[in-house]
Amino acid sequence: MRIFGALSFVLVFFAATAFGQQSALFLSLGKPLATKKSTATSGSSYLSDEFKKAEVLTNSGKKLPDLPLRYDILNQRVEYSTDNNVYDVTDSVRSFTFDASENHTGKFVKYNSPDGKVSGFLEEIYTGKTNLYKLNTIKKTSEENFYTKQVTQKYTPNNIYFASSGDKFTKIGTSKKDFLNAFKGNQKVKAFLNSTDVDLNSDNSIISLGKLIDQQ
């Protein structure tokens, strides 16, 4: 039984190693990322601090399941962990999907605006006649303790919403004016925005807007 157990462990180890090597063939790994210096922080620059299994669609159209990924929202960077190293694989990734969690569907697709001013991964929050997305971003500020002079880096979520029909994405922002401009001429959307105290920084409000559009 001990021999069988040891053999099973060896087979699993080599299978995992072979899978990691195979995945690396479809991902541009480059040099490992440097370890970040430890600093006092409030909040996080990551969607999740832990690496989680994700299904990845590469730019070449290859699907890679169960890759340990972490999404750096501050730098709009996808990080991949293998062989005790962490790599930036953003340039190789077209989309990725985590298991859904609280406040997140886990479905992300790469987006680059035509003017080059916005680049990152849009999270799908509603699918219908008009698909709705949000770009998870972070506002970074610093606070210094008056007595200890210790500086704390503060990370605050600051999301931007987008709509798409087909392959075309439109930035709709987070203010009522932004939404009215994005859905100009849509009287139901206008009535919804003008008659309701809508929190346009809330995914639930955006989902309600999507459902309203689907009713037309």
* Residue spans per domain, the chain: 16-214
Please check the confidence at residue 200 and state whether its pLDDT lies above 60: yes
Query: Model confidence over 145-188: pLDDT tens digits?
Result: 878 878 888 888 888 899 987 778 888 877 888 888 888 888 88
Distance CA 195, CA 208 (A): 14
pLDDT band at 37 (very low <50, low <70, confident <90, very high): low
The phi and psi torsions of 40 (rounded to 5 degrees) equal -70, 130
- pLDDT above 60 (res 18): no
Q: Name the more confident of 35 and 176.
A: 176
The arithmetic mean of pLDDT across residues 13-36, rounded, is: 58
- Assigned token pair, 1: 């039984």
Please report which confidence band the pLDDT of residue 7 belongs to, taking 50, 70 and 90 as the band edges: very low
Mean pLDDT within 96-115? 89
Q: Which residues contact 89 (CB under 8 A, 6 or more apart)?
A: 27, 28, 29, 78, 79, 80
Sort strands 85-88 and 93-97 into parallel, antiparallel or unpaired.
unpaired
The letter for the amino acid at 9 is F
The Cα 80–Cα 86 span in angstroms is 6
Alpha helices in 25-147 (DSSP H): none
Average the pLDDT over 60-74 and give the result: 93
pLDDT grade for 76, boundaries at 50, 70 and 90 = very high
